[in-house]
Structure 1
Amino acid sequence: MTRAGPACMTCREKCRKCDRGRPNCQRCVSKGLVCQGYPDQFRFCGIASRGKWKNARIPASEKTALPSPPGPSPPGLQTTTITTSQESTPPALVVPRTSRSMAIESVLLQPVPDVVDELESLLASAQTKALLHHCMFHESIHDSLMAPHQIAEIGDEQDSPYRAYILPLAKKQIGLLYAVLGLSAVHLGRLTDDRTLIETTSVEYRLKAIRALSEQVRKGQNTSLSEEEEDCVFATIQVMLLHDIAESGISEHGIHITGAMSVCKPTLISEGLNGRRQRAVFFIGNLAWLDIIRSFAGTRRLCFTRDIREMVASAGGDRFELVNGCPREIFLIIGSVLEKAKEYKMGWTTDEDFRSTLMAAKFELHAWDAKSKTYPSPDPRWTNVATAFQYACILHVHRLLDPTQPASSPEIQAAVAQVLDATADIPADCSLIELLILPLFMAGADTLSRHSQFYVLSRFRDIERRSEMRNPVPADLLQQVWTARAAQGPGQEGNISWRDFTCFPELPRQHDYLII
């Protein structure tokens, strides 16, 4: 049997499956990494991993592509396998090897060839129809959109911001459509255990989305983007982050959120944002919340400014809570806490100023009354969601004040109990349960009893069953914390921080852990 050939050096170092694309591994490119190359002179033609062309190899110098296997792709979900055809498969794209760690700027500003407007033909392809059908698009792509996890059951038929915002943009902007197709492919591949969808189709669409995003950003440097084009950039970045969550729960090197901030700055400087641009406010608000989440793992990662968070809170309306769960007041408080913690880590403020700010924030969080607030719907369980986020943030403030405080501390355990009690009142068949991964994770990191740990993992399984999406990061991190804590000897009660398992000193730019 002919061997497929060795993996690229980058995939070898990361101990992951390589697609062996030439001249660059497309899996590396889609992750914003530089493919370090191969030890021989042969490559796959395309990225076939199964079917008629599995294990096919030709000399690297040859450019002729192998034809696709015959037969049309099905238009719907009658089959779970979607083959990659000539009409929808992007060709391999070359990315220069500029450095070992590629930041968002170098990814997005790559020169790209002229892009022919292929939106109409892409929408007409059988593969696109099947993937959009999986996303709950009607075949006419006019009526509805439901992408996995965050997009699932957010709002009703008229109220869903994804249905109102992403659908019209994806119909007009091919880069966003590529991003949605990539997300749908990886999600469907996970559900059906179809490795081709996960390792080939989704990677190719993701690469095309990155290239389209690159072109938009490059255009924005030379001319002013229209509001629709700017909003498409924000939407594409958010969908690609959902792709990261669906694939691994980790956004490598933090390129997407940091890149979103670099796009935000010119827009805010030139005209500012207000309630008039609700679509832009919605996307920026979601990205600002993801910026908060990644900063839980390391305060230096915070990049969105206080002005942006305040704009989101004042102009975003209750759609912020509808999608992200966290009340806007809590969002602002914890944002200020993380901003001060970043200043302290960077040596820009004193220990006294840092502790004073955090103590004031802890008092404000405890005084916040979830029952007196208004929520996106009359469902009384919104109060439980708010309480869970309130005490999850209180836990994080405790950890910023004293990282060594034992988990057995009475005030730590009191906050843990508040989170677990609040989440216990939300049944598995309620859509609100999908908003609670972060609070459950924060409480789980400080649980001491095995039955509490079992409860947290059970709730994660409830969320996975309901959303049909598994973000492996929360449970994996908790298992590492619990294992390390169980290994402590008698009398050793020092804290085991989950953040110890998310930091890699050898990386100049840390990965983003997206615990949602």
Structure 2
Amino acid sequence: MKTRLHGAACKTCRRRGRKCTRELPNCQTCVVKGIQCEGYVLKWSGFASRGKLAGQSSMEDMQATTISRRKRTLPTLPLDTTIEASSTDDLAPVDETYATDIDQPDTVQNLLDTADINTMDAFSMFSLSMSTPTEHTDFAEHYSGTTDSFLPENFLLTIEDTGGTIEAAGTSSRHSNGDGEGVVQPYHKHGMLGSTLSQSLDLYNIPWELKHLLNYHILEVAPRLCIDNKTMRNPYSQYILPLAVHNPALLYACAALAACHFNVRLLDPGFHVQALRFKGKAMRRFQEQLWMEPSVADDGKLATILMLTLTDLCLGGYSNFDAHFSAARRLIDLRGDHMTPDCFVEQYIACLDIMSAASGQRKPKFTCADVLRLRGPSIEWSYDVFPCPPGQFEIVAMTVELHKSLGDSKNPSVEDQAQAFQLKQRLFMLPLYNERGEDWLHLTEAYRHAIALYIIRLFNLTADEDEISWLTQSIFHHAKSIPALTGWADNLLWPLFHAGLELTDERRRQWLRDRAHLMQRSGGFKNVDSVMTILEKVWGSETRPDYLTLLSSEGLGSMIPV
């Protein structure tokens, strides 16, 4: 029988620095030495090859390799606690630490080794900080002063969508009515969960190391992912997080975002390491799940890509978002008419993809027709998908699509400039958006003027200084009309970035620095600081920046200023 070989050395030989024979299912180097072969790293090879396991002789070999590489320690639980084992073997409350690393000090390098950096690099790219993490206690002690005051140990979140309300055990979802009694806030049904749903997030049935981070995700991260962070219609806590209980990759992706978010807000480097480690675990489990036959029909796969994209946004700096959007587009095509509730996840990924291409040389994976198809007959997004209303975002998508079709992107023809001018005129013919109050009106108007400024600079349209000054001042006027430290103000990064490129007044520059600092500490996303770093470089230069290279770095990916 012909010997089957893997494309790279096994994990054991790579860790020990030995030559590997690369034979399947186990390399002969490990067999001769009498040690256990830990298997091979699964590579991203697309959804089309999920039917056969590249590098493994059977599904049992892959599962046996995954299970044998972990050392599990069960925590001490109350006698009346029942834990149900999951078929994925990732939902039990365990402390996942590789047996090969337990005798080594907890340095950043060891923690990053645990995260399987090679696997992460196959999907997205980011910079790694190689400094020793500071010793930290439980994040609840940082947040509220005492662990007990944050959430009870046996916190159980239960979502009931039977009569238009949400019921949850625990103080986090109940509000006082003034008489000292807890009142459950009404939940406006918008088709997100469709039929009757009863899901529970039991913190005894998830990995022990994620318990407090997921508490933080429920109370702090999920609200800030919505434009109105006080709304009760939150798909991140009401749909994605319950879905993650049965999806290990999504669960670790939510934990990675929570750890990164906590680090950005409280500047704790230990949680930055945790974010990278959990992101690596999410990537590894996500790749393993792609080999399973029912992976396409599972909503958790697409939600995992969204949460990993948001984690990269939260980490700041440059990231290879193109890998996320390529995988999402391929998965959406394979799913066909099967969509997440109200196309919420699909809409958000498509918006992020187009906004990423708006300030870079890459072409978006989603077109204007895709956005219209995913939006459906509604004139609104299904939820707080994006701070730019659908009418305005359609202008952005058409502008990006027109610019990507140019033969010479830096020298558009007269006909192309005429089309861009028509798009700008169409933008100002759109009605005012005041259906959600004054803050929504100011936010959408800031986007309207920023989009016009973006079209002018992208296509080199003729515009006098008065028009540029009017657009810039309008953006700052509407931004200042929105109270700081609110969800509405935290979503002003894209308009303020384009207005900041036009600033010459040091007083306004300082106001933008101060507002950006509040936006990052309130919203918890480090890409605010990354965008301000770009603006500082522009302000220190006397040349006009190139929109196509301003937010991208060769070999490191790009930024998304949202």
Q: TM-score, normalised by structure 2?
A: 0.61
Contact 2:206 2:245 in 1 (8 A): no
- Classify the secondary structure of the residue corresponding to 1:419: helix
- Alpha-carbon distance in 2 for matches of 1:162, 1:315: 23
1:426 aligns with 2:487: no
- Partner of 2:551 in structure 1? 502
Matches within 5 A, 1:212-227: 212-219=285-292, 225-226=296-297
- Alpha-carbon distance in 2 for matches of 1:124, 1:496: 48
Q: Which amino acid counterpart does residue 278 of structure 2 have in structure 1?
A: Y
Matches within 5 A, 1:341-360: 341-345=403-407, 351-360=413-422
Q: CA deviation at 1:294?
A: 0.9
- Partner of 1:293 in structure 2? 355
1:134 aligns with 2:216: yes
- Alpha-carbon distance in 2 for matches of 1:319, 1:150: 15
- Alpha-carbon distance in 1 for matches of 2:227, 2:97: 27
- Give the superposed CA RMSD: 3.8
Q: Which amino acid counterpart does residue 459 of structure 2 have in structure 1?
A: L
Q: CA deviation at 1:169?
A: 0.8
- Partner of 1:210 in structure 2? 283
Q: CA deviation at 1:178?
A: 0.8
- Partner of 1:324 in structure 2? 386
Q: Which amino acid counterpart does residue 448 of structure 2 have in structure 1?
A: Q
- Partner of 1:313 in structure 2? 375
- Partner of 1:167 in structure 2? 241
- Alpha-carbon distance in 1 for matches of 2:337, 2:394: 23
Determine which of 88, 97, 110 is the counterpart of 2:96.
88
- Alpha-carbon distance in 1 for matches of 2:547, 2:419: 24
1:271 aligns with 2:334: no
- Classify the secondary structure of the residue corresponding to 1:300: coil
Distance 1:429 1:253, change over 3 A: closer
Contact 1:388 1:439 in 2 (8 A): yes
- Alpha-carbon distance in 2 for matches of 1:468, 1:350: 39
Q: CA deviation at 1:214?
A: 1.8
- Alpha-carbon distance in 1 for matches of 2:70, 2:96: 14
Determine which of 435, 439, 452 is the counterpart of 1:381.
439
- Partner of 2:460 in structure 1? 402
Contact 2:75 2:94 in 1 (8 A): no
Q: Which amino acid counterpart does residue 269 of structure 2 have in structure 1?
A: R
Distance 1:69 1:120, change over 3 A: closer
Determine which of 223, 229, 235 is the counterpart of 1:154.
229
- Partner of 2:559 in structure 1? 513
1:446 aligns with 2:508: no
Matches within 5 A, 1:437-476: 437-471=493-527, 472-476=529-533
- Alpha-carbon distance in 2 for matches of 1:399, 1:320: 31
Contact 1:445 1:498 in 2 (8 A): no
- Classify the secondary structure of the residue corresponding to 2:225: helix
Query: Which region of structure 1 is more displaced relative to structure 2, 465-474 or 311-320?
Result: 311-320
Aligned residues: 392
Distance 1:153 1:333, change over 3 A: closer
Contact 2:305 2:328 in 1 (8 A): yes
Q: Which amino acid counterpart does residue 405 of structure 2 have in structure 1?
A: E
- Classify the secondary structure of the residue corresponding to 2:544: coil
- Partner of 2:366 in structure 1? 304
Q: CA deviation at 1:198?
A: 1.5
1:393 aligns with 2:451: yes
Q: CA deviation at 1:166?
A: 1.0
Distance 1:243 1:94, change over 3 A: closer
- Partner of 1:10 in structure 2? none
Question: In the TM superposition, what whole-angstrom CA distance separates every residue of 1:104-126 from its partner, at most 9, and x where no partner exists?
Answer: 7xxxxxxxxxxxxxx98984444
- Partner of 1:435 in structure 2? 491
- Partner of 1:186 in structure 2? 260
- Partner of 1:196 in structure 2? 270
Question: In the TM superposition, what whole-angstrom CA distance separates every residue of 1:457-496 from its partner, at most 9, and x where no partner exists?
Answer: 22212212322443222111110110113xxxxxxxx523
- Classify the secondary structure of the residue corresponding to 1:204: helix
- Alpha-carbon distance in 1 for matches of 2:70, 2:208: 20
Contact 1:176 1:236 in 2 (8 A): yes
- Alpha-carbon distance in 2 for matches of 1:120, 1:177: 13
Q: CA deviation at 1:346?
A: 7.5
Q: CA deviation at 1:446?
A: 1.2
- Classify the secondary structure of the residue corresponding to 2:561: coil
- Alpha-carbon distance in 2 for matches of 1:450, 1:300: 33
- Alpha-carbon distance in 2 for matches of 1:295, 1:69: 45
- Alpha-carbon distance in 1 for matches of 2:470, 2:203: 58
Matches within 5 A, 1:251-270: 251-252=319-320, 254-267=322-335, 270=336
- Alpha-carbon distance in 1 for matches of 2:338, 2:314: 33
Unaligned 5+ segments in structure 1 are 1-21, 25-63, 74-84, 105-118, 138-144, 486-493
Distance 1:239 1:503, change over 3 A: closer
Q: CA deviation at 1:304?
A: 0.7
Question: In the TM superposition, what whole-angstrom CA distance separates every residue of 1:230-252 from its partner, at most 9, and x where no partner exists?
Answer: x2122111111221122124323
Q: CA deviation at 1:353?
A: 4.4
Distance 1:448 1:69, change over 3 A: farther
- Alpha-carbon distance in 1 for matches of 2:281, 2:295: 23
- Alpha-carbon distance in 1 for matches of 2:497, 2:306: 22
1:477 aligns with 2:534: yes
- Classify the secondary structure of the residue corresponding to 2:405: helix
- Partner of 2:307 in structure 1? 239
- Alpha-carbon distance in 1 for matches of 2:349, 2:235: 15
Distance 1:175 1:503, change over 3 A: closer
- Classify the secondary structure of the residue corresponding to 2:259: helix
- Alpha-carbon distance in 1 for matches of 2:373, 2:204: 37
Q: Which amino acid counterpart does residue 484 of structure 2 have in structure 1?
A: A
- Classify the secondary structure of the residue corresponding to 1:356: helix
Question: In the TM superposition, what whole-angstrom CA distance separates every residue of 1:344-363 from its partner, at most 9, and x where no partner exists?
Answer: 1578x983542232121011
Unaligned 5+ segments in structure 2 are 1-13, 17-67, 78-92, 100-113, 125-200
Distance 1:457 1:255, change over 3 A: same
Contact 1:293 1:514 in 2 (8 A): yes
- Alpha-carbon distance in 2 for matches of 1:397, 1:240: 30
Q: TM-score, normalised by structure 1?
A: 0.66
- Alpha-carbon distance in 1 for matches of 2:115, 2:15: 8
Contact 2:226 2:487 in 1 (8 A): no
